[in-house]
Amino acid sequence: MSPGVSETFPEWPEPGVPLRPKERSNVGELIRQARTRRVPVGSTGSHPWDLSRLNKTIAFDTPDMLLTVETGQTLAAAKDMVEAERLWLPLDMPGDSYLSLAEYLTQDHSLSWLSSRYGAARDWITRLTAVDDEGREVACGAKVVKNVAGYQWAPLYIGAGDALGPIVEVSFRLLPLPTSISCGQWEGKSPSSLMGIWRQGCQDSHPTGRGDPWEAIRLTRHSSQWRMEGITRFPPDAVANWGRPVRDQIQEAITTAATPPRETAIPDFKPVHRIQVLPTQIAGLLDTLAACQLDLSCYPASGIIHAGPIHDDQDKQTYTAMLDMVIAKGGRVQPLRAGAHVNRQPGRDPSGERTIMTRVKSILDPEGVFGPLPENRW
């Protein structure tokens, strides 16, 4: 046991010390103790969870294409395991090698370059087990690929930052591992030319012009360099033809891979905001952002931009005005760091999610055994 890290807790640790249960049953014991001591636990409470020791693979049924694991396991480990059996969990996040599934699920990391095609984590979870405010394990769903029995409350817990209780076990449905993937990488001077290739791919790949050939797509700007990366099941010669007219001054590399590559981390990129708009609004937003000196990562088909810190004062003004405009037009700006600017009117909750989740919190955790709901989710 690490110094200060508690296990069965004859003495309760100092605030800030993570709770690191060794066994599943310890989670409930800790919650009951916290309840008695009136100390809120979880990432927004006095003691964050460290569930890394609860990392068992409970069941991996390859013919049924289902995986059940404890959430101390990392997303990367889970993906490695299923890919070894020619199966695929179509979830990703840059730099996922260190994050436990518990953190991945509760801390709202489940968007990736795969999201526009494959959705988010909630779309792949068939069963989820959490621990409630009285320390009891509670589950919803089933270990089958299709099930509508009872309430599927998993979507309330994903992204709720442990505020409703820690997630300790999860079952995922899986897909056959795609083979013969084409990988494209394009670099250019402006986002608009790269976006042109993305759009042309959508148009050229489908007779109606409304295709979506990309398994994954991401546009980044790092150290002033614009780059787009995409993977698709279409053959390389098809990819090479998409957007031919808009390819002036674009460097491209189209390769093939036996299996889908994972989303890579952008070096030293720590986004400050997640901006969400409609896909048709992305291009205009990127043009505005191009005028500011900042790093960013964009999932164009999902309408998501993760924007990095900005240092120049003039750029700050442009950037802040853009955030306000996004909010005014019905988009979402989610601060990813404490103190990040959001021009939110007090009490304004256009999506209604904050209000209802506050109500859910009061139903499932009336005594505040767990920390409060994270402020930055809405």
Partner 1 sequence: MPLPRQLIKQLQRIVGRRQVDTDFAELLVYESDGLTLRTARPGCVVYPSSTEECARVVKACHGAGVPYVPRGAGTGLSGGAISDGGVIIQLSRMSKLLGIHPDDRYAIVQPGVVNNYLNLQARPHGLEFAPDPSSQAACTIGGNLAENAGGPHTLKYGVTSNHILGQTVVFADGEIATFGGPFPVRTGPDFSTFLTGTEGTIAISTEITVRLVPTAATATTMLAVYPSVSGATDSVSAILAAGVLPTAMELIDNLCIQAVEGHLKAGFPTDAAAVLLIELDGEEQLMKRDAEAVARACKANGATDFHTAQTEDERQSLWRGRKHAVGSLGKITPAFYTNDGVVPRSKLTAILQVSYKVAQGHGIRVAHVCHAGDGNIHPLILYDPDESQGPERAMACSEDILLACLEMGGSLTGEHGIGAEKRNLLPRMFTEDDLGHMLRLRDGLNREGLLNPGKIFPTGAKCGELRNQPVFPSGTWI
**Tokens read off for 286:** 């990127």
Classify residue 17 by burial, with Cβ atoms within 10 Å: 0-12, 13-18, 19+.
middle
Minimum distance from residue 15 beta carbon to partner 1 (Å): 25
Q: Identify residue 221 by its one-letter amino acid code.
A: R
C-alpha pair distances (Å), 67 with each of 88, 140, 143, 332: 10, 16, 9, 33
Count of positions on this chain that bind partner 1 (CB under 8 A): 83
Q: Would you count residue 176 as binding partner 1 (CB under 8 A)?
A: yes
Instruction: Choose the binding region for partner 1 from 95-103, 210-218, 243-251, 263-271 (rule: CB under 8 A).
Output: 210-218
C-alpha pair distances (Å), 289 with each of 233, 254, 374: 31, 27, 27
Q: Which of 13, 95, 211, 368 binds partner 1 (CB under 8 A)?
A: 211
Query: Would you say 14 or 61 has its CB closer to partner 1?
Result: 61
Q: Which DSSP category does 300 fall into?
A: G
Residues 62/87, Cβ–Cβ less than 8 Å? yes
Minimum distance from residue 28 beta carbon to partner 1 (Å): 11
Minimum distance from residue 194 beta carbon to partner 1 (Å): 19
Residues 173/52, Cβ–Cβ less than 8 Å? no
Minimum distance from residue 61 beta carbon to partner 1 (Å): 6
Residues 1/18, Cβ–Cβ less than 8 Å? no
Crossing angle of the two packed helices 313-328 and 279-290, in degrees rounded to 10: 160
Q: Would you count residue 152 as binding partner 1 (CB under 8 A)?
A: yes
Q: Identify residue 95 by its one-letter amino acid code.
A: G
Query: Would you say 202 or 250 has its CB closer to partner 1?
Result: 202
Residues 249/184, Cβ–Cβ less than 8 Å? no
In terms of C-beta distances under 8 Å and separation of at least 24 residues, what long-range contacts does 350-353 make, across chains too? 351/378, 353/377, 353/378
Residues 350/326, Cβ–Cβ less than 8 Å? no
Q: Identify residue 138 by its one-letter amino acid code.
A: V
Q: Would you count residue 195 as binding partner 1 (CB under 8 A)?
A: no
Classify residue 372 by burial, with Cβ atoms within 10 Å: 0-12, 13-18, 19+.
middle
Q: Would you count residue 138 as binding partner 1 (CB under 8 A)?
A: yes
Q: Which residues in the 237-256 window bind partner 1 by CB under 8 A? A: none
Q: Which residues in the 39-58 window bind partner 1 by CB under 8 A? A: none
Rounded Cα distance between 353 and 326, Å, is 18
Q: Which residues in the 333-362 window bind partner 1 by CB under 8 A? A: 334, 351-353, 355-357, 359-360, 362
Query: Would you say 61 or 287 has its CB closer to partner 1?
Result: 61
Q: Which residues in the 102-131 window bind partner 1 by CB under 8 A? A: 108, 111, 115-116, 119-120, 122-123
Q: Which residues in the 275-294 window bind partner 1 by CB under 8 A? A: 276-280
Query: Would you say 250 or 364 has its CB closer to partner 1?
Result: 364
Instruction: Provide the terminal-to-terminal Cα distance of the chain, rounded to the nearest Å.
Output: 37
Q: Which residues in the 56-85 window bind partner 1 by CB under 8 A? A: 61, 63-66
Residues 194/250, Cβ–Cβ less than 8 Å? yes
Q: Would you count residue 140 as binding partner 1 (CB under 8 A)?
A: yes
**Tokens read off for 1:** 């046991």
Query: Would you say 13 or 178 has its CB closer to partner 1?
Result: 178
Q: Identify residue 324 by its one-letter amino acid code.
A: D
Q: Which of 156, 181, 195, 197 binds partner 1 (CB under 8 A)?
A: 156
Query: Would you say 292 or 301 has its CB closer to partner 1?
Result: 301
Q: Which residues in the 301-330 window bind partner 1 by CB under 8 A? A: 301-304, 330
Instruction: Choose the binding region for partner 1 from 1-9, 139-147, 184-192, 217-225 (rule: CB under 8 A).
Output: 139-147
Instruction: Choose the binding region for partner 1 from 5-13, 93-101, 150-158, 287-295 (rule: CB under 8 A).
Output: 150-158
Rounded Cα distance between 289 and 276, Å, is 14
Minimum distance from residue 225 beta carbon to partner 1 (Å): 26
Q: Would you count residue 233 as binding partner 1 (CB under 8 A)?
A: yes
Minimum distance from residue 233 beta carbon to partner 1 (Å): 6
**β-pair partners for 298:** 219, 305
